[in-house]
Structure 1
Amino acid sequence: MARIRMILPVPVPGLALSLFADQIPSTLRRDGTEIEFRGTRSGASLLDSPYELALADSFVLDAGVSAEADGCDVVCSFSMSDSGLSALRSRLSIPVVGAAQSAFALATQLGKRFSIVTMWEPWKVMSTDLVKRYDLSDRVASIRHIDVRPDTQELLSGKEELVFGCLEEQAKRAIEDDGADVIILGSTTMYQSHAYLAQALPVPVVNPGVAAYKTCETLLELGLTHSKRAYPSPERTVDDLFTTIQSVFPN
């Protein structure tokens, strides 16, 4: 039995966690794999600013730091922010995967240039910074948004008629005007639009949540993990630093 811990960068109630889990159906899961979704105990809410991203980095680290000791085989920062990714790779020896990095890597294998279509301006800014961090600016045709404030608990439920058409419009503009030959959904909260867009668009559409999960599977099957030369372990740890902070959504 392999265990994968998927960490959302914000506090998430149980019902919303089940919505996130729905994007990885049993037909895509490797036999004998247990997937555990969890939000952070506190911290960020919408990832709308550098302040929020700093909170997300800290609390994702908190949510993942015990994963190896708890018997998990892989940890995933299940967000297009890749919150806490480098810190967890430094702290842990088991593989640590980022949804954005997984989606970018897959897109570069499917086409020459990709576009990210996301929900609103702050997430466009976040994606722009992340693309620069991964030195992929020359592979990005554009980063577009639909100017709709996201909901990290209801996701796209109830907004399909409004959101799906807007995403399709921006994706088609990315293809026709910007030269994209792959589209990446700009958030794991947007997965409900994937089937619609995959049918409506003439290019591949990457769902970052599924890309991240499949990356976790691949690393497990190949017996690979991150390089400790790139992500050296700390000499001193304070893993219980956040344990006195009350959880927003206690189990």
Structure 2
Amino acid sequence: MASRRRIVVLNPNTNASTTAAMVALARQACGANFEVDGRTAPFGSSFIIDQQELETSATAVSEMAAQIAAERPRETGLIVAAFGDPGLEDARRSFAGPVVGIGEAGLLAGAFGGRPFSIVTSTAGLGSRIEKMADNLGLADQLRSVRQTPSHPSQLIGKPERLFAELLLAARQAVSLDGAQTIVIGGGPLARFAKDIELELGVPAIDPVSAAVKKLIYQWSDGQAMQPCPRM
């Protein structure tokens, strides 16, 4: 009997509970035909909020990808589960299977069909990084804004209700003030709020972890490395 294809969610931060939450989202997105597990960065920060921490996490991603390549690289795909996609290109160069970043996948899903979109996030220190990613993907003309929560991420740890309220406020402003027709949640740990934001605002809200899973499966299905997958 052939083994199931395997998806490994690489959490570039050191928070194991965040890894578990993102693995759960990935399993919901892909169904029972795939094996999904996660790896947590062995060093770095528990929450990536600036460029320096992003660079440290890139090294962790490269090390985790190398470890997985030594285990069972065939029929395995990797998801880099931090919105800045740390270490994504290095992992792609060293890993035989497909590698998808949640930032890239989220941006492509948000822009699908030519829609104007905005990013909402709690990590103000990565705003310029996100804008550069959009530009590199040819999506700068569709990106309406990158809006952050009013509070610093450190003030939101362990306060999910306050975090949701601030993300919702940022998303509402992106729609009403910036003209966004789609909201992309800018962070793996924040992805769980996408459905509730969509229900509140009545516009599509992209969970970037699920978008990455769909993109990975899409690549497996027809070999297209950089094409966006339709929103499901």
TM-score, structure 2 normalization: 0.85
2:143 match: 140
1:24: Cα distance to partner? 3.0
1:76 aligns with 2:79: yes
* C-alpha RMSD over aligned residues: 2.2
**Residue type matched to 1:184 in 2?**
V
- Bigger helix fraction: 2
Q: What SS does the aligned partner of 2:144 have?
A: strand
Quick check: 202-211 or 128-137, which moved more?
Answer: 128-137
Q: What SS does the aligned partner of 2:104 have?
A: helix
Q: Deviations over 1:99-122 (max 9, x none)?
A: 111111111115521100001421
1:138: Cα distance to partner? 1.1
- 2:51–2:126 Cα contact (<8 Å) kept: no
**Residue type matched to 2:160 in 1?**
E
1:19 match: 21
Give, in whole Å, the separation in 2 of the partners of 1:44 and 1:209.
20
Q: Determine which structure has greater relative contact order: mean sequence separation of CA pairs < 8 Å that are 6+ residues apart, divided by chain length.
A: 1
Give, in whole Å, the separation in 2 of the partners of 1:102 and 1:146.
22
Give, in whole Å, the separation in 1 of the partners of 2:128 and 2:162.
23
1:143: Cα distance to partner? 0.5
1:241 match: none
- 1:30–1:217 Cα contact (<8 Å) kept: no
**Structure 2 residue ranges without an equivalent (≥5):** 227-232
1:229 match: none
TM-score, structure 1 normalization: 0.79
Q: Deviations over 1:127-157 (max 9, x none)?
A: 2232233342211000001133336xxxx78
- 1:67–1:75 Cα contact (<8 Å) kept: no
Structure with greater Cα Rg: 1
Distance 1:16 1:106, change over 3 A: closer
**Residue type matched to 1:19 in 2?**
A
Give, in whole Å, the separation in 2 of the partners of 1:110 and 1:166.
28
Give, in whole Å, the separation in 2 of the partners of 1:118 and 1:162.
13
Aligned residues: 220
- 1:11–1:40 Cα contact (<8 Å) kept: yes
Give, in whole Å, the separation in 2 of the partners of 1:103 and 1:144.
15
Identical amino acids, percent of aligned pairs = 23
